[in-house]
Amino acid sequence: MKVKYLLTAVAIVVIAQNSFAQYSQDAVLFSTGQTGSTSRIKAIGNAQTAIGGDLSSISGNPAGIGFFTHSEAAFTPEFNSSKIKSTYLGTANSGSTSNLNFNNAAAVFYSRLNTPRGSDKTQGWLSLNFGVSYNRKNDFYANVNYGGKNNNNSITDYYASLANTYGVDPGNSLQDWAYDHALIDLYYINPSNPSQGTTYRGNAKPGVTQTNNMIREGGENEFSLSMGANYSNKLYLGLGIGITSLRYNLDNTFTESGAASILDANNNPMNVTYTSVYNQNQVTTGDGFNARLGFIYKPADAIRIGATFTTPTYYTVQDDYSESLRTQYNVGSPSPGGPADYPFTYNFHTPLKVSGGMAVFFGTYGFLTADAEYVDYSSVKLSSTDGYDATQDNHDIKTGYQSTANIHAGGELHLDQVFIRGGYSVQGNPQKGIESTKTISGGIGVRFEKFYVDATFTNVKGSQTMYPYVLATNSPAASLDKTYNNGFLTVGFKF
């Protein structure tokens, strides 16, 4: 039996924040950025902790700018191409995108410290250098498509779970629209014994066809200021701050079609076919800051040991999320639901990062280097003063994500004025049970007295699991295999 509006409704903003506006997933996504770097450092697997003398040190290990004995500036554009293959309910799909971005611009200003006349110019504090850089830390561009036939459940079951949790009342919430569109109805748990109460259930029959199309745009940038000091050409200390910004745009359309049994005006079952389209749009911007400390020590001329500590980035985020629902039946259609808009501001902090590395130099012939970095994504934490309770999001982060050890390794071969480089890195996946992201890189550089050019190609492969909707059990999942082919070109000047 169909019974209307028996449950108490709550504020629609709260409903939206607890339905598809998954702040926990966004906060972790925004925490996965990598240190900005030049083409040279990208070519050696982004292993820069113990190298020094590269403009990447400004946003990486600030101690590295203490190696400079001249001023220097460079800029790095990049070309990104991505392809994502998905598998959903046994069906394969793919999507691709490409874009041109400005990856890095940096400058170091050399400042020799005055020493008394006649003193040893190789002992004591020799220089205090300053650096400034712009870096693109994260790229959110992606085109994700997946779909298949679902014989286990329907998104109408998700709408019903929202209704059972938050209630239904005429208004602008997702479960309200689903009820108005007859995608869900309120039924007696036991029709022969109404005293057992009622529950909302989805009206879809098994065997629905589902497709999801997602378009993502945006990125995460950082403006860095650093200083690095040189003590006796043995110990290098550095301090830096980062001012970050992010922009993230999402347009997601989930379409489901199939057969359903709905109740007519007289509460009699009626078999129909339907197509329902659920659309989500999200525009997110934010600003944050962090700080970093680092050192590099040379126990011998051929060996460098370095470490960096980077504080969490503390973000304030403005999120404008909207959603709508449209349903078409073969016997007529109800009015569209929405769009409803939910602007919201919240705070979160990324994990702190600790990295250590070592480099071995072979005279003038080149070097080998490796880094290890520790990041605990389960420590990401959200909060808000807008009445939003972040308890569930923080619980989801704590239980669904993990700490990772990221490994970067590479080397450089010197052939007079030509430099050949190669590297490999493994970036741990924040999601539990998902494979790490692996990057193979290679590059070449040409250097003159006052000018240099470095070119790098990287091939990045990783995986991810996405859920179009979440149920108490048996939530459908899309497995994504992601491949990124990126090109970088750095042009630098010494002055």
d(CA 141, CA 152): 32
d(CA 458, CA 103): 14
On the question of pLDDT at 11 being above 70, the answer is: no
d(CA 7, CA 176): 12
**Mean pLDDT to the nearest integer, 79-94:** 93
d(CA 395, CA 374): 21
On the question of pLDDT at 135 being above 80, the answer is: yes
Say if residue 269 is exposed, middle or buried (CB neighbours under 10 Å; 0-12, 13-18, 19+): exposed
**Would you state the pLDDT for residue 172?**
76
The topology under which CATH files domain 12-494 is Porin (2.40.160)
d(CA 294, CA 292): 7
d(CA 255, CA 422): 45
Q: Are 331 and 13 contacting, i.e. CB atoms less than 8 angstroms apart?
A: no
**Would you state the pLDDT for residue 337?**
86
pTM: predicted TM-score of the whole model, two decimal places: 0.87
d(CA 255, CA 277): 4
Q: Where are the domains of the chain?
A: 12-494
On the question of pLDDT at 427 being above 90, the answer is: yes
Mean pLDDT estimate for the chain: 91
Radius of gyration of the chain (CA): 27
On the question of pLDDT at 16 being above 90, the answer is: no
Confidence of residue 148 (pLDDT cuts 50, 70, 90): very high
CA 286 to the chain's CA centroid: 13
The pLDDT tens digits of the residues spanning 332-385 come to 767 788 888 889 899 999 999 999 999 999 999 999 999 999 999 999 999 987
CA 458 to the chain's CA centroid: 19
Confidence of residue 120 (pLDDT cuts 50, 70, 90): confident
DSSP state of 363: T
Q: What are the helix and strand counts (H, E) for the chain?
A: 6, 20
- Among candidates 214, 191, 188, which has minimal Cα distance to 199? 188
- Length reported for the chain: 495
